[in-house]
Structure 1
Amino acid sequence: MEQLIETIVKPLVDYPEAVRVEKDENTNRVVYKLSVHQSDTGKVIGKQGRVAKAVRSVVYSAAGNYHKKKTYLDIVD
């Protein structure tokens, strides 16, 4: 899943080397924390959050087949 998130996000940003994905897993949920360069945060979120929603939709769809746990994607600075 980390590779999928990186594959989606890296072409969108100006600093692809700054893209990091961390995984935090509990018994009933998985949280992926996406961090990008500070100037790229707006590009990943998009106008009215449209890009972020699209990335989350793809990740959640793929995670449904990959995990049997609730999956979340957080975008952090």
Structure 2
Amino acid sequence: MKELIEHITKALVDYPDDVNVKEIEDEKGMIVKLSVHADDMGKVIGKQGRVAKAIRSVVHAAALNENKRVRLDIVE
């Protein structure tokens, strides 16, 4: 899952070296924390959150194939 999110996000941003993805397992599933350079935050979120929603949709679909529950948090 981490590699998928990194691949998608690095294609969107101007500073791909600053993309950081952390996976945290808990009893409800997996939490993925995505952080990017401050200048790229708008590109990852998109107008009215459309890009973030699209990334979450892809992650959700990939998680269904693995029978996991994944939540994506975009943090500063």
TM over 0.5: yes
Structure 1 stretches (4+) deviating beyond 3 angstroms? none
2:73 maps to: 74
1:32 maps to: 32
Describe how 1:1-77 pairs up with structure 2 within 5 A. 1-66=1-66, 68-77=67-76
1:44-65 CA-partner distances (Å, limit 9, x unpaired): 0000000000000000100111
Question: Which sections of structure 2, spanning at least 5 residues, go unmatched?
Answer: none
What percentage of residue pairs aligned between the two structures are identical? 59
- Counterpart CA distance in 2 for 1:11 and 1:70 is 25
Question: Which sections of structure 1, spanning at least 5 residues, go unmatched?
Answer: none
Question: RMSD across aligned C-alpha pairs, in angstroms?
Answer: 0.9
- How many residues were matched structurally? 76
